[in-house]
A and B are shown apart, each in its own frame.
Chain A
Amino acid sequence: MKKNILATTIALAALVGYITYETQSNTQIEVFSANVEALADDTGEATEVGTCYIEQPFTSCTDWLLFCDKDTDNNHIYPCPKDKNYRGYSSMCTDRCTK
């Protein structure tokens, strides 16, 4: 009798342990899957961009404009300035800034 109770208890404990393990694993799998889906998703939110002008050290054109951050280059763009400045600008090109 006692042996049966002990065996049943052990079996139940093992069963509970297994069920708990399986549940956590499934949760981890779900989270992992969600992360993978998120990483694989290529339809993220768009970033609105505006136009800014490139300041020139010597120029034939000056005006009140939004000037690009001085560190703007082919790989980096910066937030559009809030205020206009009166400066010389390139008459041949503009650049982008983030809104």
Chain B
Amino acid sequence: MKTIYCVLLLLVLASCNNKGQDTDIFNGDIINIEEHAPEKEVEFKKLTLKGLNFGNLAIHDSLVFFMNPKLQSKWFQLFNCHTLDEMGEFVGKGNGHEEFIAVGPIWNFYTENNELKTLIFDGNKESVSVWNITKSLTSKSTIIEKEIKMPWKKENRGACFNELLIKDSCTLYAKVSATPINDYDASLPYYQIRDLRNGEKISDIHIFKKSIVNKQTKFLPQTFFYSHDAMKPDGSKIAQAMLHVPQLNIIDTKSKAVTGYRMNENMSLSDLETSKELKPYFIRICADDNYIYTVFCGKAAWKVNEVPCVNHIYIFDWEGHLVRKIITKHCIDEIAVDGINKILYTTSPMDEKLYYIKTDELITGATL
């Protein structure tokens, strides 16, 4: 009789433990990292730009770009960090020639023939356009050099591109978004390597092997593997700061190897399949050739329309080591790093200031 009870108990326990293994889910090695790092409280300096500034932030060598949906007829506003002057509005809104119905943010920049350029992606047009910023500033009008078709509706079966990371003038790493299959499952996000000369796909990089099916959570299934990504300026690596798991993935763009660096917050990839509460961990990212700067939350998810105050920046090196925990005196929204002048910038959801600090000050000096 006792034997029967034991067997029954074991069977019940086994059936409860239907959680998968992280090795079945992740397409690479997972390394647990030391999450204790020197902490430092810092007060950023503030800039007041001469003009309305709002939206997605990008920085290149003292040029500040805002992808501002509030502008009347253009998509982007440019400012000079030194003079604080607005340098103009660029990239027309509309459905005409060299106009865009909607645009994504600027992810990174590249130079070609000593001219600064970036890509404008309009998901509705299914194309990226090369925006020559140097010529646009000189002529005070938007100079679009060429349009490259990226037919995601047919090629990706309806999954759009979320992030577009430019490695060089010929090579684009385009992240395909997860799309919902039903209320509790979604397709896997992954990267496509595409040739910018003709728009054709070269190959894929898969970060995950298996999707998460979860009927118990209120979160949309396409957010389970959500991450904020940034490319190392030399193009050799991509960092992914995951939203619902405290894990930083680093992708080697040459070998396509993926490595996950996991912090101990008692949350794994397979926990996404359970009724465990999902928290937002990493919510923003930017990177220079030395470090990866992430905004870390780690608390219960905020409510619809709530604006939380998040003021922790976790700094990693490109080997996945957590090197610093920064506590700021202001609430953080967007972050971007000027790798040339070594300055980290943030905006805040509480005001229209541009906050900044030298990156050396974050890494060196006294800690708590």
- Residue contact B177 to A64, C-beta cutoff 8 Å: yes
* Given A83-B102, A84-B160; A61-B123 close (CB under 8 Å): no
Tell me the bound Cα distance from A93 to B226 in angstroms: 16
- Residue contact A92 to B160, C-beta cutoff 8 Å: no
Contacts of B226 in A (CB 8 A): 60-61, 91
Tell me the bound Cα distance from A98 to B101 in angstroms: 21
Binds B, one of A9-17, A22-30, A42-50, A51-59: A51-59
Chain B residues with a Cβ closer than 8 Å to the other chain, count = 31
Q: Which of A57, A64, A86, A91 is the one whose CB lies under 8 Å from B219? A: A91
Contacts of B104 in A (CB 8 A): 64, 86
Contacts of B28 in A (CB 8 A): none
Consensus secondary structure, chain B interface? loop
Counting CB contacts under 8 A, is B105 at the interface? yes
- Residue contact B304 to A60, C-beta cutoff 8 Å: no
Query: Nearest chain-A residue to B295 (Cβ)?
Result: A60
Tell me the bound Cα distance from A62 to B229 in angstroms: 12
Tell me the bound Cα distance from A57 to B306 in angstroms: 8
Tell me the bound Cα distance from A61 to B189 in angstroms: 14
Counting CB contacts under 8 A, is A94 at the interface? yes
Contacts of B169 in A (CB 8 A): none
- Residue contact A64 to B123, C-beta cutoff 8 Å: yes
A82 → chain B closest CB, angstroms? 9
Q: Count A-B contacts at CB 8 Å.
A: 62
Tell me the bound Cα distance from A64 to B163 in angstroms: 10
B107 → chain A closest CB, angstroms? 11
Contacts of A56 in B (CB 8 A): 304-305
- Residue contact B123 to A93, C-beta cutoff 8 Å: no
Q: Which residues of B293-340 have CB atoms within 8 Å of chain A's CB atoms?
A: 297, 301-302, 304-308, 333
A10 → chain B closest CB, angstroms? 77
Counting CB contacts under 8 A, is A63 at the interface? yes
- Residue contact A93 to B218, C-beta cutoff 8 Å: yes
- Residue contact B162 to A58, C-beta cutoff 8 Å: no
Counting CB contacts under 8 A, is B235 at the interface? no
Contacts of A93 in B (CB 8 A): 218, 220, 304
- Residue contact A58 to B333, C-beta cutoff 8 Å: yes
- Residue contact B307 to A57, C-beta cutoff 8 Å: yes
- How many of chain A's residues touch chain B, expressed as a range? 10 to 19
Q: Which of A57, A83, A87 is the one whose CB lies under 8 Å from B305? A: A57
Tell me the bound Cα distance from A60 to B280 in angstroms: 7
Tell me the bound Cα distance from A62 to B161 in angstroms: 11
Q: Which of B102, B161, B218, B297 is the one whose CB lies under 8 Å from A92? A: B218
Contacts of B103 in A (CB 8 A): 86
Q: Which of B69, B123, B305 is the one whose CB lies under 8 Å from A84? A: B123
Query: Nearest chain-A residue to B243 (Cβ)?
Result: A60
Query: Nearest chain-A residue to B125 (Cβ)?
Result: A83
Counting CB contacts under 8 A, is A8 at the interface? no
Counting CB contacts under 8 A, is A85 at the interface? yes
A20 → chain B closest CB, angstroms? 62
Contacts of B349 in A (CB 8 A): 57-58
Tell me the bound Cα distance from A92 to B333 in angstroms: 20
Tell me the bound Cα distance from A54 to B226 in angstroms: 17
Counting CB contacts under 8 A, is B124 at the interface? yes
Contacts of B308 in A (CB 8 A): 58
Per-position binary interface string of chain B over residues 108-124, scored 1 when its CB falls under 8 Å from any chain A CB and 0 otherwise: 00000000000000011
Counting CB contacts under 8 A, is B193 at the interface? no
| 9 intermolecular pairs with C-beta atoms under 8 Å apart | A58-B308, A64-B104, A64-B160, A64-B162, A83-B124, A84-B102, A84-B123, A86-B102, A86-B103
Q: Which residues of B contact A (CB under 8 A)?
A: 69, 101-105, 123-124, 160-162, 177, 218-220, 222-223, 226, 243, 280, 283, 297, 301-302, 304-308, 333, 349
Closest 9 CB pairs of A and B: A64-B123, A64-B160, A60-B283, A91-B223, A58-B307, A86-B104, A85-B102, A60-B280, A83-B124
Q: Which residues of A contact B (CB under 8 A)?
A: 54, 56-58, 60-64, 83-87, 90-94
Q: A54-B304, A61-B243 are in contact. List 13 more A-B contacts (CB 8 A).
A: A57-B307, A57-B349, A60-B243, A61-B223, A64-B123, A64-B160, A64-B161, A83-B102, A84-B123, A84-B160, A91-B223, A91-B301, A92-B301
